[in-house]
Structure 1
């Protein structure tokens, strides 16, 4: 997929991927679906679903490390701050957008601009949570979350 096609796909997801509801049971279903896929595929990932006030689901698959948990924390912080997937932010930077880590902007110890954190949006409400995966290449982390969110929506 070309960079332009990837960016267009991410922009479409940003606009169109909304749920009609999301509660703690949905957070469990979402995280569990991602974990089941990760186990089936032997993906060494950390999986996290959180609100601004706390973690609703967290799992570390075989092979994941504490470093993946730190990436989850930083990716989620970025997605909360911008209410946008970190893959979309990363693609916008690659397309010539502002470097989020230029002096005076984002602290790399607190934020990460790498795919894998996706806002959970509810129609008429907005962003209610962030679902994050860390451990695979950026686009693969992102796709793992988006596939599970899409199934939850449908």
Structure 2
């Protein structure tokens, strides 16, 4: 795994995986797509979708999860809200610069987790309208589940967007 290659691919994912519109039905479709993928792959995860105003549009917890996953969801989503980029991209960028979110930005680890799994919900206009977050498996797999679900809902070729 090459950090710079990952960062570039994640940026490509964020530019490509954008919605014409995002509403309650779209959130339901995305959440269920990720849920089905997680079930097929046997991954116990929490899936959470929130609008930026805080309204929760989708939530599910699959077998194998625990209350700690809820805190991880909150902390990862806070990173996306702050930077308007995926939590994994921020984490990989900080790792490449050999620093932390606290050192580089003064944000507390108690409220911010720069681990993979939270992804901005962005319209094609560039407006960020929400956050989709997965927690329960290693961070690269959390991120991959979100990307797979987004690709499915947005009819994008996952093979061209996935991380190596």
Q: Structure 1: where are the runs of 5+ without partners? A: none
CA contact (8 A) 1:38 1:45 kept: yes
Please list the CA deviations of residues 102-135 of structure 1 after superposition, one character each: whole Å capped at 9, or x if unmatched. 2871111111110000001111151111000001
2:107 aligned counterpart, secondary structure: coil
Aligned-pair CA distance for 1:141: 0.4
Residue 100, structure 1, aligned to residue 101, structure 2: yes
Distance in 2 of aligned mates of 1:35 and 1:104: 33
CA contact (8 A) 1:48 1:58 kept: yes
TM-score (norm 2): 0.88
Distance in 1 of aligned mates of 2:120 and 2:75: 14
Supply the RMSD in Å over aligned alpha carbons.
1.6
Alignment of 1:20-39 (within 5 A): 20-39=20-39
Aligned-pair CA distance for 1:16: 2.5
Matched pairs, number: 154
Aligned-pair CA distance for 1:17: 2.1
TM-score (norm 1): 0.93
Q: Structure 2: where are the runs of 5+ without partners? A: 156-164
Aligned-pair CA distance for 1:46: 0.6
Which sits farther off after the overlay, 22-31 or 117-126?
A: 117-126
Which sits farther off after the overlay, 12-21 or 133-142?
A: 12-21
Distance in 1 of aligned mates of 2:27 and 2:98: 32
Report the CA distance shift for 1:23/1:103 in structure 2 as closer, same or farther (over 3 A): closer
Report the CA distance shift for 1:153/1:97 in structure 2 as closer, same or farther (over 3 A): farther
Aligned-pair CA distance for 1:94: 1.4
2:101 aligned counterpart, secondary structure: coil
Aligned to 2:151: 150
Aligned to 1:82: 83
